[in-house]
Amino acid sequence: MSVLIRLVIASLLLSAGWCASASAAKDVSDIAVVNLTTDYQSAQVRLKRGAFYYHYYNSEYQSALNTLAQLQAVDPASENDNELRLMHAAVLLSLGLTEDAQRLFASAGAGKATANAWFYLARAFWLNSQWQAAGDSAAKALSWVNNDAFLAIYSGPLAADYLDEAKFLLVSSLAAQDKVKEAEKQLQKMPARSIWTGLARYNLIIAHIRLYTPGPAIESLVEEAVYYLPDTGEAHNLRDRIYLVGGINALNAGKTKQATDHLKRISLDSIFTAPSLLQYGWALAEQQNYQRAMQPWRLLQDNYQPFHPAVMESLLAVPHALELLDARTQSLQAYEATELRLQEMLTRLSEQGSSAAVRDWLNTWLLQQDENWGWQRTVTTDMPDGELSAIVQGLLDNPQFVALISQLHDLHAMHNALLQQQENMTLWADTIKRRQDVLVQTNGPARLQAMQQQQQALTQRILALSAQLAEEDSKIFAYASEEDKANVERLQNVVPRIRGLQQLATPTRNVDQYAERWRRARGLQLWEIYENTPQRRWDVNQSYWQLQTESMALLTQLNHAREALVWADSSWQGFPQRIAAAQLRIQDLLQRTDERLEQTLQLTANMTEDYLSSLQQRITDYQGQARLSIARLYDDALQQSLTAADEADPDAVTEDVPAKDQNAETDTDDAADTSAAASDNHGEVAGE
């Protein structure tokens, strides 16, 4: 019987296990009312807060914003946390939501937060060109360092890795606001040989140039900035940039010797080489050293793209210098070569400047963009390798164009994120449909009802077994085994035979010895039964209570399976409708995002085409100037030839002279008309 019970229990456990698997159909989102303990709430808050910090410090600002909303839903008190407010403001700034960030910054301004939060906020304001807000935030981040008792209430210690950068933000923000005196005062607190100090000095130089500071202040600041720069690659680029700015400022101020001293120190392998070569040539030309001035211009033309603004300017500078050297033949040849080169550039520009080519170029750029947001995303001005990118390189420095392509990047990332959410909703709808089909096909309620009936029958058998165990102690042969019962039965079967022998007793037949043996066998059997009774009673009771425990566990499992089946049946009620509503919202957002994306893409394409048109106009102007110079040189040569002929034969002035003068005038006018006509072919007024 015990073997049968165990087999029944095993079958019920297997069946109930299937019912328990139906609980997988329960959707977590439908568990709206859960009694959370305090420990669980605190753990959940710590988890959400840690997730927010993780996304924030990894520059995953969209995910950080979503996690912050979840944290505030779990812990409403976190909305008053000034630390989170400042970080929230920095996230909004990184996503371009400047006004929302400013409101949060104002609300958190009177509270206490760590210096690191103020530092991140200062960095975000700096990147968004909000100089005053960046300076105020940097000052609060540095309040402990500066021993400012009033500002120190706002922050805790600033991380050592951020100290120099925070000072740079403060000095540069003051310089951007033209507060050069305050900036110089804060600059003195920075270490001399830090790269951040060099960047701060550069921004201070720009402020002095913008304010037209007289005297040697700018020159001394340039020399000081270059002298204290560390020996690193970044510092070398900064050195070239400082020399370029100082050289251009000196050239504009008429200090050509000082300008050449600065410009010739710029290395030939940096991003500032091209403009430095151009300006270095003009500085030499201002000193009437025309032959040396042509060398950097030639080097510029040999090593850089022809559409580089500096290269295009140098194309006319070289023949102009030759003309100033009175090398008219070489100047004429250089002008003609320049005219042909400019014509080739116009041809390339017309091929690459079509609307379809610009659209393809922007679409290729979109495909190579990543999906990250914020400060650490892919540099948006890294355009695709190609001829059009080389042509429009001058456009990449335009702040409006950079802002447009940044917005285009963000809209493209939003478009991809919405497509991903749309796909997720489709997968959810498919999952719900499959769950419904599984629940219908498996007929869970009927199977659960059959299992409950089996469990009830098992319970009745267990109760009968309990009554049988209660009656077992009153029996003579209690807890006897099957073998014991068989032996007792055999002993009982022997009794009638012994009695029969006693009735047939003869003088020669003595049955007493059989009776004595029977009594001994009976006593031994009874002794063995009574000897094993305590152990057998213990074993039986243990097996019974184990069976009872398994039965109760089975009953609990069935109850859980019943509850899970009820929940599984109700969890998808209304859920497809919720998914459909979410899909409609996503579709609406996707449509609006696509419209905005298309508008921004069109604005970017229009701006690119306008730049190409202005570039074409500029090249045409250069070509017109080259043709006018060619015509002028031919005219001068003709005039000199006629003058030389008149001087060689002065007696030839007869009645044929007017005809000769008329022919000379006609030739001169033809040369000028030819130049004007050639210029008019490219839309240029030859009157210049």
pLDDT in tens, 1-18: 333 333 333 333 333 333
Neighbours of 74 (CB within 10 A): 14
pLDDT in tens, 383-409: 787 888 888 888 888 888 888 888 888
Note the pLDDT of residue 197.
Answer: 94
pLDDT in tens, 159-188: 888 899 999 999 999 999 999 999 999 999
CA 127 to chain centre: 17
pLDDT in tens, 350-377: 888 888 889 998 888 888 877 665 554 5
Note the pLDDT of residue 196.
Answer: 95
Mean pLDDT is lowest, of 245-249, 479-483, 577-581, for 479-483
DSSP state of 159: P
> Does residue 619 have a pLDDT over 80?
yes
Mean pLDDT of 451-480: 74
Q: Which amino acid is at 93?
A: L
pLDDT band at 31 (very low <50, low <70, confident <90, very high): very low
Asked if residue 52 lies in contact with residue 86, where contact means CB atoms within 8 angstroms, the answer is no
pLDDT in tens, 237-267: 999 999 999 999 999 999 999 999 999 999 9
Place of tokens 């690191």: 116
pLDDT band at 56 (very low <50, low <70, confident <90, very high): confident
Note the pLDDT of residue 33.
Answer: 33
pLDDT in tens, 419-435: 999 999 999 888 888 87
pLDDT band at 215 (very low <50, low <70, confident <90, very high): confident
Neighbours of 271 (CB within 10 A): 9
> Does residue 660 have a pLDDT over 50?
no
Mean pLDDT estimate for the chain = 78
Place of tokens 């152990």: 535
- Look at 381 and 348; give whichever has higher pLDDT: 348
Among 613, 606, 598, smallest CA distance to 407 is for: 598
CA 538 to chain centre: 69
Note the pLDDT of residue 437.
Answer: 80
pTM, two decimal places: 0.64
Residues contacting residue 311 through CB under 8 Å, at least 6 positions apart: 274, 300, 301, 304, 305
| d(C-alpha 264, C-alpha 270), whole Å | 13
Note the pLDDT of residue 552.
Answer: 82
Among 54, 50, 109, 113, smallest CA distance to 81 is for: 113
Note the pLDDT of residue 195.
Answer: 93
pLDDT band at 25 (very low <50, low <70, confident <90, very high): very low
> Does residue 108 have a pLDDT over 70?
no
Mean pLDDT of 267-277: 91
pLDDT band at 40 (very low <50, low <70, confident <90, very high): low
Mean pLDDT of 574-581: 86
> Does residue 24 have a pLDDT over 80?
no
- 328-352 helix and 575-648 helix, angle to the nearest 10 degrees: 160
> Does residue 577 have a pLDDT over 70?
yes
Note the pLDDT of residue 112.
Answer: 57
CA 297 to chain centre: 42
Phi and psi dihedrals of 112, rounded to 5? -110, 130
